[in-house]
Amino acid sequence: MASVIRVTGAWTQLLADWLDVEQLPAPDIRAALARWAPEDMVPIAVWRALLASAVALRPQLLAPGLAIGALVQPRHVGVMGYVVLASGNVGEALLAYQRYERLFYGVDLATVAMQGNDVEIRWPKEAPVFNQMTDSVAIAALATFLRRQVDNPPPPTLVSFVNPAPESAEERAIYESFFGCPVRFDDSHTRVRIPANYLTMPMPHSDPSLRALLDRQAQALLLALPDSDAFDRALQQVMLKLLPEGAVTLPRVAQELYVSVRTLQRRLDTRGMSWQNLLDRTREQLARQYLGDGSLSLGDIALLLGYSEQSAFNRAFRRWTGEAPLQVRRLVRH
């Protein structure tokens, strides 16, 4: 498990923001952070090392992981953050987190279960890749993210960590003050428990239409993760990001991947495809997936694929398949 766990590149911006708040120049750390684009997959060992280097600049600061996590914004979490934000209530938001956690860590780790009158989301101790710093950042971010979404939310009933307790009683008190509940250490799981009635509290930015579109994008990103090498996954995720923006060009994709146009063309050549082949193949694969979803109109699908007009999508689809999109939609849905 440890070999495949990573964090999304968007997460590294959280540390850059903390350096700004602390007014730390930290040129070496900032240069290392700048290497990672939001679509990249950052090895967990690299993330641990970056955190350790940064907090070492503030050795007098107690519980620095909580301060870092408290800066979280949806952009730090990638598409998963925006799916959560557009959810109808806290319960939907937690389920969305569990469903798309693999976009964040590369694997599914969390489970959600009832514990008496509480709902518990927890992560296993058997994932030997986290440490006190990475865990405290992640759990502080989760608690902060949810806290900001509803008016007067109840505090968690319990937060626990698999790592040993801080030696300082003052630091342990900071944890309890931050979360507003008992905090346990040396536990079998890292966990957050919240009252079950919290789940029905509405999210202020709920948008069912936006949530549906974001769900499609997140599902497509999940399909891009398995059974391909690192370059293929990065290329697929960049394409998925840029297509709805109508900004998919060879130079723009090369820029997002931090390679030259010539290098990108050479890598495509080794895979036996041209830029146009890649663009057409990606659009066709996504179109077939989207056509199976009755909640998406043909106009929605055209926009998700980067076409400004539905007619342009219809012509392209006929060129790829010899059929009209509506014909394929009828076959897929029956």
The string of DSSP letters for 22-90 reads TT---HHHHHHHHT--TTSEEEHHHHHHHHHHHHTT-TT-SSHHHHHHTT--GGGTTHHHHHHHTSSBH
**Does one domain contain both 184 and 119?**
yes
For residue 271, is it within any domain?
yes
Q: How far apart are CA 274 and CA 36, in angstroms?
A: 26
For residue 222, is it within any domain?
no
For residue 210, is it within any domain?
no
| Residues above pLDDT 70, as percent of the chain | 91
Structural domain total, the chain: 2
Structure confidence at residue 65 as a pLDDT band (50, 70, 90): very high
Last residue of a domain, one of 161, 181, 200: 200
Report pLDDT for 27.
93
For residue 220, is it within any domain?
no
**Does one domain contain both 190 and 281?**
no
**Does one domain contain both 266 and 151?**
no
Bridge partners (DSSP) listed for residue 194: 119
Phi first, then psi: give them for residue 218, nearest 5 degrees: -65, -40
For residue 317, is it within any domain?
yes
For residue 1, is it within any domain?
no
For residue 214, is it within any domain?
no
- Nearest CA among 168, 174, 167, 170 for reference residue 159: 174
**Does one domain contain both 193 and 250?**
no
The residue range of the domain holding 249 is 227-333
**Does one domain contain both 196 and 233?**
no
Which has more confidence, 88 or 289?
88
- Asked if the model's pLDDT at residue 258 lies above 50, the reply is yes
Report pLDDT for 81.
80
- Asked if the model's pLDDT at residue 127 lies above 90, the reply is no
CATH of the domain at 274: 1.10.10.60
Report pLDDT for 272.
78
CATH of the domain at 190: 3.90.1520.10
Structure confidence at residue 192 as a pLDDT band (50, 70, 90): very high
Lowest mean pLDDT among 47-56, 88-97, 141-150, 231-240: 231-240
Bridge partners (DSSP) listed for residue 317: none
- Asked if the model's pLDDT at residue 77 lies above 80, the reply is yes
**Does one domain contain both 122 and 266?**
no
**Does one domain contain both 128 and 14?**
yes
Angle among Cα 143, 124, 190 to the nearest 5 degrees reads 35
**Does one domain contain both 30 and 131?**
yes
Last residue of a domain, one of 185, 200, 215: 200
For residue 243, is it within any domain?
yes
Q: How far apart are CA 248 and CA 209, in angstroms?
A: 24
Report pLDDT for 3.
40
- Asked if the model's pLDDT at residue 22 lies above 80, the reply is yes
Give residue 304's Cα distance to chain centre. Answer: 19
**Does one domain contain both 118 and 80?**
yes
Last residue of a domain, one of 200, 219, 244: 200
59-98 burial by CB neighbour count: b if 16+ within 10 A, else e? eeeebbbbbbbbbbbbebbbbbbbbbbbbebbbbbbebbe
- Nearest CA among 81, 21, 76 for reference residue 54: 21
Q: Which residues contact 210 (CB under 8 A, 6 or more apart)?
A: 82, 86
**Does one domain contain both 159 and 303?**
no
**Does one domain contain both 170 and 238?**
no
- Summarize pLDDT for 225-255 with one digit per residue, the tens: 545 556 776 777 788 778 887 778 999 888 8
Q: How far apart are CA 193 and CA 119, in angstroms?
A: 6
**Does one domain contain both 55 and 179?**
yes
Report pLDDT for 2.
37
Two structure tokens written together for 226:
């398995």
DSSP structural state of residue 210: H
The residue count for the chain? 334
Q: How far apart are CA 287 and CA 322, in angstroms?
A: 14
Report pLDDT for 128.
43
- Asked if the model's pLDDT at residue 180 lies above 80, the reply is yes
This prediction's pTM:
0.65
